[in-house]
Every structure is written in C-alpha cells, then in structure tokens.
Amino acid sequence: MSYPETPVREAIERLTVPLQLDNTVDANQAVLDRFKHVWTPDLRILDADGTELYRWSGYLPPFEFAPQLIVAVAHARLRRKEYAAAKALYEEALLRFPTALVAAEAQYYAGVSAYRASHSANDLLHAWHELEKSHPESEWTVKQNF
C-alpha cells in the first residue's frame, strides 16, 4: 500500500480532499455506477461539482504514486484553465521525480500549460525539445510530432 509513505501522504493532503469508497459496500453502489467503476485501484480527480477531470487505475508503488497524483491534479488544473497552477505542478513532478513513469507526460504537458498561459510557441517548443532529449523513446515524444 502506497498511502502511508510520506511523499504520497503529503501530496494527497496538500492537493486533494481525499475520499475512499469500498466497492463491496451496497451503499456505495449508486456512486460507483455514476462513475462507471469497473476495477480497483480506481482513482479519479473530481471537481467540486463532481465532474471527473482525470482518472487512472492500477497499483503504483509510492515513488510512482506521488508523481502520478501530482500530474493528475496538474491535468485537472489544466482542464479548468488554471494554466499557471498546472504548469507549477508539472514542474514540481519533474523536479522531484525526474525518473518517474509519468515524467515524459509531465514534460509534454508542461509545454502545453506554458503555451496556454503565454501564447508563445517558444514555450511549447522549448518544453518539447527537452522532452525529446530526456525521453527519446517515450510515446509522448512521438505525440509531440506535428
């Protein structure tokens, strides 16, 4: 279980309102149906109105869970057009967890959030150039080609 680990607990408490639902409890079934729940672990980032902004599933060890959570909240902030907040979280994930599985995705969207904030193509291209250098084999490096 990744939750007792300090970096995971710190990120959960700093960035989210944590909600856990047991999928074997009858009283939870209506909510689980609403979110089309299939399998555990099943993690979602929700807006205050209950809109799902990001999801991931499957076990991650602590050193992967913490960066995944930070990037998940960054994605949610990006979708809410909170570009500066999103960019800061992508950069935090990259700085603290540069070798995480989610790092290439964070680098890709660091560029997207920077571009959305500044409207400067240079911000996007700079971040994507870094992605090409740091993760040449990543699917996100493939996705940056246009």
In the complex, which residues of this chain contact another protein (CB under 8 A)? 3-4, 9, 12-13, 15-24, 31-32, 35, 37, 40-50, 53, 69, 73, 76
Minimum gap (Å) between residue 73 Cβ and another protein: 6
Residue 128's Cβ-side half-sphere holds a number of Cα atoms within 13 Å equal to 18
Q: What's the closest the beta carbon of residue 16 comes to another protein, in angstroms?
A: 4
Contact 124, 115 (CB under 8 A): yes
- Which is nearer to another protein, 82 or 130 (by Cβ)? 82
The residue among 50, 130, 132 whose CA lies nearest residue 94 is 130
Closer to another protein at the Cβ: 80 or 133? Answer: 80
- Cα–Cα separations (whole angstroms), residue 30 to 47, 54, 56, 77: 18, 20, 20, 27
Nearest to another protein of 9, 135 (CB atom): 9
SS3 label, residue 52: strand
Of the pair 109, 140, the CB lying nearest another protein is at: 109
Query: How many Cβ atoms are within 10 Å of 79's Cβ, its own excluded?
Result: 14
Output the smallest distance, CB 84 to another protein, in A. Answer: 13
Q: How far is the CB of 79 from another protein (least distance, A)?
A: 10
Residue whose C-alpha is closest to residue 110's, from 96, 99, 101, 125: 125
